[in-house]
Structure 1
Amino acid sequence: MDAPVTLVILAVTVLVSWQAFGNRKLLERLLLWPPAIERNRQFDRLVTHGFVHADWQHLLFNMVTLYFFGRHVERMFAPYLGAFGFVLFYLSAIVVAILPTYLRHRHDAAYRSLGASGAVSAVLFAFILVQPWALIFVFFLPVPAIVYAVLYVGYSIWMDRQGRDNVNHSAHLWGAGYGVLFTVIMEPRVIEVFLARLMSPSF
């Protein structure tokens, strides 16, 4: 099977999100609600929030991205971490990406966050680190991965400072950074590969 772990994560996320769409109680139990962690020690929410989504569009965007890039990253990590190493990377990315948000809002009873975007960003940026000139299609327009990465980070920083929408841009940024850091720690030589490929554009 092609990248079985990615497909299992995708299937579980779709199933849980689908169930939560029609079950408000389930959704409220799984999403990130800081007071529940602070007061009730429901630390599992630091992971479970990554398996529920706001709507089908939110879910579809994350899962399509995971499908196309997760398969490559899973195969890339397998020689170093084994068959299930990608699971550890993905789950840890969910936690790391949300931690700054949790710490910032841990006393805010009105705050909620959900979605796999932080972990998906980690997967995407691990891929970009190895294939900086691969083409990423944005609204059907091909964009070099490294260009997309710069625009993505810049936009996320700007939107995070604006704070005008309901998107957790902080999780996107921390997830992206974690994806790069994790990959470099796993295989330090990837920095040389990245720089060499960056200096030799190939589409």
Structure 2
Amino acid sequence: MNINITLLIILANVIVSLIGFRNTQFMERYLFRTGSILKRKQYDRLLTSGFLHVNFMHLFFNMFTLFFFGSFLEKGSPLPGYMYLVIYFASLLLGNLLALVLNKNNDNYSAVGASGAVSGVLFATIALSPSTKLYLFFALGMPAWIYGVGYMLYTIYGIRSRAGNIGHEAHLGGALAGILIMVAYQPALLRMHPWVILGMTVPALVFLFIAIRYPHWLTFGFLKANSKENYTLDDRYNDRRMAEQEEIDRILDKIGKSGMQSLTDKEIRKLEEYRSRM
């Protein structure tokens, strides 16, 4: 029986994301959040968050990219199916672990999406076939290795500056995982394309060393660019969550001063929703 792994992964993403779109409690329980992972030890979020998405557009672009590059790895390359799965899930987990490390001091940092896994599949493809032409916007063609180096440099810039509406940490971690796993599986790639592989990995590894060794450097870059126009989807989500928490604190203060009977119907519903998520 010939199983299409890529389509199964896409189907799983679609089903889980649709549940998350309709059920906010489900989304809350399984998204990536540093505080819940580190303090409540809900480590399953490192995996489950990779099957949730913010909206249909977020889901579409991730699955669109996965369909093309995943299909190539699965059907058009010598890579066995189990290694394809290793690349996908290792990239997902490493991307989220990197986000966890770089945001460990921000309990409210949250994220969803298969971006880390998809980046891993994309960069495994580039490592395997760096001269393949990529056609961006269906017209502009460029060798895959040029795209890969440029993408890495932009991702590094994005983490430091919080540029764009993108969770760059997962992209960087996933991309590195995809390259390194592919090279570990086929070491000849490093001999065949040494400058391409090094050009994609060395800047990222140097950046990660600096960011982890000197975290204040990363924070400084974030503070300089932390304006509303540079907010990511996660930043906006965190703002909403902080506003909700302030509202809950106000309701609890009201109960402490005047008792439950002082609450309005709206405040009672808000409190019940909050308790159901705990």
**TM-score clears 0.5:** yes
> 1:34 touches 1:109 (CA, 8 Å); kept in 2?
yes
Q: Map Cα deviations across residues 113-152 of structure 1 (whole Å, 9 max, x no partner).
A: 1111111111001101121121222222222211111221
Residue of structure 2 in register with 1:34 after alignment: 34
Q: Does the 8 A contact of 1:3 with 1:74 survive in 2? A: no
Cα offset for 1:188?
0.6
Counterpart Cα distance in 2 of 1:186 and 1:192: 13
Comparing 134-143 with 154-163, which one deviates more in the overlay?
Answer: 134-143
Counterpart CA distance in 1 for 2:177 and 2:26 is: 29
Give the corresponding residue for 1:183.
182
Give the match for residue 115 of structure 1: 113
- Report the equivalent of 2:243: none
**Contact 1:135-1:144 at 8 Å conserved across structures:** yes
Higher RCO (CA < 8 A, seq sep 6+): 1
Number of matched pairs? 195
> Which consecutive residues of structure 2, in runs of 5 or more, have no partner in the other structure?
198-278
TM-score of the aligned structures, taking structure 2 as reference length: 0.65
Q: Using the alignment, how far apart are the partners of 1:101 and 1:90 within structure 2? A: 17
Is the contact made by 2:35 and 2:108 (CA closer than 8 Å) also made in structure 1?
no
For 1:18-57, list aligned pairs within 5 A: 18-57=18-57
Corresponding residue for residue 145 of structure 1: 144
Instruction: Give the share of equivalent positions with the same residue, in percent.
Output: 36
Q: Distance in 2 between matches of 1:114 and 1:158?
A: 21
Task: Report the CA distance between 1:66 and its aligned residue.
Answer: 0.5
Q: 1:69 to 1:3 in 2, by over 3 A?
A: farther
Q: Give 2:262's aligned residue.
A: none
Q: 1:23 to 1:197 in 2, by over 3 A?
A: closer
Deviations 1:145-177 (A, max 9, x none): 111112211111111110244421121112111
TM-score by structure 1 length?
Answer: 0.87
Matched AA of 2:125 = F
| Equivalence map 1:79-118=2 (5 Å) | 79=80, 83-118=81-116
Structure 2 residue matching 1:142: 3-state secondary structure: strand
Residues 2 and 142 of structure 1, relative CA distance in 2, 3 Å threshold: farther
| Equivalent AA in structure 2 for residue 32 of structure 1 | F
Structure with greater Cα Rg? 2
> CA contact under 8 A between 1:77 and 1:85: conserved in structure 2?
no
Q: Give the gaps of 5 or more residues in structure 1.
A: 199-203
User: RMSD in angstroms over aligned alpha carbons?
Assistant: 2.2
